[in-house]
Amino acid sequence: MDKRKNLRFRARSAEEIIRTLKNNFGENARILSIHQIKRRGLTRFLKKTQFEITAAAGEVHLQGAVPQDPPIGAKTFINPSASIPFKQQTQRILMHSGFSQPLMDAFFENKPFQEQCNIQEILNSFFHFLQKSYEQLNIKEPGQRIALVGPSGVGKTLTLCKLIAQEVFLGQKPAVIKLDGEQSGGQDVLSMFCNILGISIFQEGVDQYISYGTHSKMLFDHEGINFFDHDAVNSCNTKLDQWSVDTRVLVLNALYDTDFLDQCFSKIKDLKLTHCIFTHLDETTHSNKLWQYILKGRLSPYCLSFGQSLTADFTSHVLPYLLNKTKITEDLLKLY
């Protein structure tokens, strides 16, 4: 097998995942995505859980291969109405499909326009513009102290479990620190999940500081923050400073409207945010609006979550995943 290429395989357990990764990539593996294979009908009760894993050797670029399919069918759309300028028509389609004005402006800035061009070509070149812009992002690698922050209920804890599982599959043992202000006595999902995986979990303010020290990698689960509350934002920042957290990940639900997403992204400086994660992609049909945050949001895309599994349903293949979900509103194209 060519070890430079991505590897896709199926496995039934963490041990099987680790074994396959080690056999193919040695210690240098990197998991790109894990999907839980959904079974239908009665067989789902009889068969063991199975995962599909995509992995790469460490030096392979995280985002992997990009699908070649164009965003729309092979039909040719010719400008039907000379009265509305062609550029305006294209903008209208893109805007109604959920793309932001700054993104369109950046696209049109680099695209010399001729009135008699074909609309499918323009939309395809917009698709390539998205891909190229992503490839030009300066995406930061996550550091050793990673905290997930965001509004209440977005999926911070569940996403943290997915990240812990990924570390464990790679043979690592990070420490988990709960900064959630609650004293659950180890009865919450995160504590139980860590206990099952043999991961040390500490409750800030309850466990002694000395016990954290031996772990090089630390993952922090912060309680939900009200982004409209300055005091809450400041106290979160102070806490992350005290813990010297270098990777501060904004976690947001992809279903949120753009006003609220804008509000959360406006706290980048206050919280010294570095990365972002979008969740609930499985429940989102219109993910086009996410491009503006991925390309112009000034945070490095970390991964996407698309399901409720504790160990699967996430991908760090952000570019191909989003390209696959990107759609131009078909009703508008019917006019052309």
Ligand X SMILES: Nc1nc2c(ncn2[C@@H]2O[C@H](COP(=O)(O)OP(=O)(O)OP(=O)(O)O)[C@@H](O)[C@H]2O)c(=O)[nH]1
Chain residues binding Mg ion by CB under 5 A are 156-157
Residue 310 beta carbon to ligand X: minimum distance, rounded to whole angstroms = 9
Residue 263 beta carbon to ligand X: minimum distance, rounded to whole angstroms = 16
| Spatial distance between the Cα atoms of 216 and 284, rounded to a whole number of angstroms | 36
Using CB atoms within 10 Å of the CB of residue 46, give its burial: 0 to 12 exposed, 13 to 18 middle, 19+ buried: exposed
Of 209, 211, 197, 217, nearest to 145 by C-alpha is 217
- Cβ distance to ligand X smaller for residue 89 or 305: 305
- Cβ distance to Mg ion smaller for residue 233 or 333: 233
Residue 279 beta carbon to Mg ion: minimum distance, rounded to whole angstroms = 12
| Residue 71 contacts which entry, Mg ion, ligand X, none (Cβ below 5-8 A, type-dependent) | none
Residue 254 beta carbon to Mg ion: minimum distance, rounded to whole angstroms = 18
| Residue 306 contacts which entry, Mg ion, ligand X, none (Cβ below 5-8 A, type-dependent) | ligand X
**DSSP tally for the chain: helices H, then strands E:** 13, 11
Kindly list the residues in this chain that would bind ligand X in the complex (CB under 6 A). Answer: 152-158, 223-224, 279-280, 282-283, 305-308
CB of 130 closer than 8 Å to CB of 97: no
End-to-end alpha carbon distance in the chain: 47
Residue 318 beta carbon to Mg ion: minimum distance, rounded to whole angstroms = 22
**Which residue of the chain is nearest Mg ion when measured via CB?**
157
| Residue 283 contacts which entry, Mg ion, ligand X, none (Cβ below 5-8 A, type-dependent) | ligand X
Residue 180 beta carbon to ligand X: minimum distance, rounded to whole angstroms = 6
- Cβ distance to ligand X smaller for residue 122 or 201: 201
- Starting from the edge strand earliest in sequence, which strands make up the sheet with 201-203, in order? 7-11, 51-57, 29-36, 314-315, 300-305, 275-279, 247-253, 145-149, 218-222, 175-179, 201-203
Using CB atoms within 10 Å of the CB of residue 253, give its burial: 0 to 12 exposed, 13 to 18 middle, 19+ buried: buried
- Cβ distance to Mg ion smaller for residue 207 or 223: 223
- Cβ distance to ligand X smaller for residue 122 or 149: 149
CB of 251 closer than 8 Å to CB of 293: no
- Cβ distance to ligand X smaller for residue 35 or 280: 280
| Residue 187 contacts which entry, ligand X, Mg ion, none (Cβ below 5-8 A, type-dependent) | none
Of 277, 221, 274, nearest to 253 by C-alpha is 277
